[in-house]
Amino acid sequence: MFSIGFRTLFYKESLRFWKVATQTILAPVVTAMLYLLIFGHVLDGRVEMLDGVAYTSFLIPGLVMMSVLQNAFANSSSSLIQSKITGNLVFILLPPLSHAEILSAYIGAAIVRGLAVGFGVFIITAWFAHLDFVAPLWIVVFAILGAAILGTMGVIAGIWADKFDQLAAFQNFLIMPATFLAGVFYSIQKLPPFWQTVSHFNPFFYMIDGFRYGFFGKSDISPWTSLAIVSVFFAVLAFVAVNLLKRGYKLRH
Amino acid sequence: MTAIQIDSVEKSYKGFKALKGVSLDIREGEFFGLLGPNGAGKTTLISTIAGLIRPDAGSVRIHGHDVVTDFREARKRLGVVPQELVFDPFFTVRETLRLQSGYFGIRNNDPWIDEVMHNLDLTNKADVNMRALSGGMKRRVLVAQALVHRPPVIVLDEPTAGVDVELRQTLWKFISRLNREGGHTVVLTTHYLEEAQAMCQRVAMLKLGQVVALDSMNALLRRVSGSQLVVRLKSGSLPDGLRHLVSHDEHANGDKYTLRVNDYSEVEPILARLRESGAVIDEMQLEQADLEDIFIQIMEEGK
- Determine the residue of chain A that is closest to B106 in CA distance: A4
Which of chain A's residues have a Cβ under 8 Å away from the Cβ of B77?
Answer: none
Length of chain B, in residues = 303
Report CB contact under 8 Å: A8, B86. no
CATH number at residue B255: 3.30.70.920
pLDDT at B228: 81
Residue B173 and residue B130 share a domain: yes
Chain A environment of B91 (Cβ under 8 Å): 12, 15
Helix axes A55-86, A136-160, angle to 10 degrees: 30
Confidence (pLDDT) at A11: 95
Please provide the distance, in angstroms rounded to a whole number, between the alpha carbons at the two ends of chain A: 32
Whether residue B300 lies inside any domain: the answer is no
Give residue B143's domain range: 2-222
B213-233 pLDDT, tens per residue? Answer: 888 887 877 766 567 888 898
**8 Å CB contact of A94 and B84:** no
Of residues B31 and B260, the one with the higher pLDDT is B31
User: Cα distance from B128 to chain A (closest Cα, Å)?
Assistant: 15
Q: Which of A27-36, A113-122, A230-239 has the lowest mean pLDDT?
A: A27-36
Comparing alpha-carbon positions, the chain A residue that sits nearest to B44 is A253
| Shortest alpha-carbon distance between residue B80 and chain A (Å) | 8
Helix (H, G, I), strand (E, B) or coil at B163: coil
Is the distance from CB of A188 to CB of A196 less than 8 angstroms? yes
Q: Look over chain A and give the mean of its residue pLDDT values, rounded to a whole number.
A: 89
A98, pLDDT greater than 70: yes
Q: How far apart are CA B275 and CA B260, in angstroms?
A: 18
Give the mean pLDDT of B254-273.
85
Q: Which segment of A14-23, A49-58, B207-216, B244-253 scores lowest on mean pLDDT?
A: A49-58
Predicted local distance difference test score (pLDDT) of residue A216: 86
Whether residue B145 contacts residue B102, with contact meaning beta carbons closer than 8 Å, is answered with no
The beta-carbon neighbor of B52 closest among A5, A7, A252 is A252
Domain boundaries, chain A: 4-247
Return the pLDDT at A180.
Answer: 83
B211 occurs within a structural domain? yes
Query: Residue B220's pLDDT is what?
Result: 79
CA closest to A19 among chain B residues = B90
Task: Write down which residue in B170, B192, B222 finishes a domain.
Answer: B222
> What pLDDT sits at residue A14?
94
Q: B103 vs A92: CB contact, 8 Å cut-off? A: yes
Q: Is A50 helix (H, G, I), strand (E, B) or coil?
A: coil
Nearest CB partner across the interface for A5, out of B51, B90, B103: B103
CATH number of B78's domain: 3.40.50.300
- Chain B residues at the A interface, defined by Cβ less than 8 Å, are 13, 50-54, 71-76, 78, 80, 82, 84, 86-91, 95, 99-107, 145, 149
- What is the ipTM score, two decimals? 0.87
Q: Which of B72, B88, B91 lies nearest to residue A98, judging by beta carbons?
A: B72
Which of B202, B222, B242 is the last residue in one of the domains? B222
How wide is the angle at C-alpha B70 spanned by C-alphas B77 and B113, nearest 5°?
25
Residues B59 and B20 in one domain: yes
Query: Looking at the partner chain, which of B90, B91, B107 has a beta carbon nearest the beta carbon of A4?
Result: B107
Decide the pairing of beta strands B31-35 and B185-189. Answer: parallel
A79 within 8 A of A158, measured Cβ to Cβ: yes
How far apart are alpha carbons A9 and B66 in whole angstroms?
24
pLDDT at B136 over 90: no
Whole-number pLDDT of residue B226 = 66
Residues B210 and B142 in one domain: yes
pLDDT band of B251, cuts 50, 70, 90: confident
| Residue A116 predicted with pLDDT over 60 | yes
Q: Is the same domain home to B112 and B183?
A: yes
- Looking at the structure, do residues B209 and B242 belong to the same domain, yes or no? no
The total number of structural domains that make up chain B: 2
Minimal CA separation from B299 to chain A, in Å: 28
Same structural domain, B207 and B231:
no
Q: Are residues B86 and B214 in the same domain?
A: yes
Give a yes or no: residue B294 inside a domain: no
Beta-carbon contacts of A34 under 8 Å, excluding residues fewer than 6 positions away, are: none
| pLDDT tens per residue across span A56-67 | 888 888 899 999
Q: Which tens digits make up the pLDDT trace of A166-193?
A: 999 998 999 988 888 888 877 787 788 8
Judgement on whether residues B11 and B143 belong to the same structural domain of the protein: yes
The verdict on residue B218 lying in a domain is: yes
Kindly identify which residue of chain B lies nearest to residue A7, measuring between CA atoms.
B102
Domain identity same for B101 and B240: no
Of B13, B71, B99, the CB nearest to A8: B99
pLDDT at residue A1, rounded to an integer:
63
Model confidence at A45, pLDDT cuts 50, 70, 90, reads: low
- Regarding predicted confidence, which is higher, A90 or B14? A90
Which residues from chain B sit within 8 angstroms of residue A92, using beta carbons? 103
Q: Express as a percent the part of chain B with pLDDT over 70.
A: 98
Minimal Cα–Cα distance from B177 to chain A, Å? Answer: 24
Beta carbons of B213 and B205 less than 8 angstroms apart: yes
Is the same domain home to B108 and B141?
yes
Boundary residue ending a domain (B206, B222, B238): B222
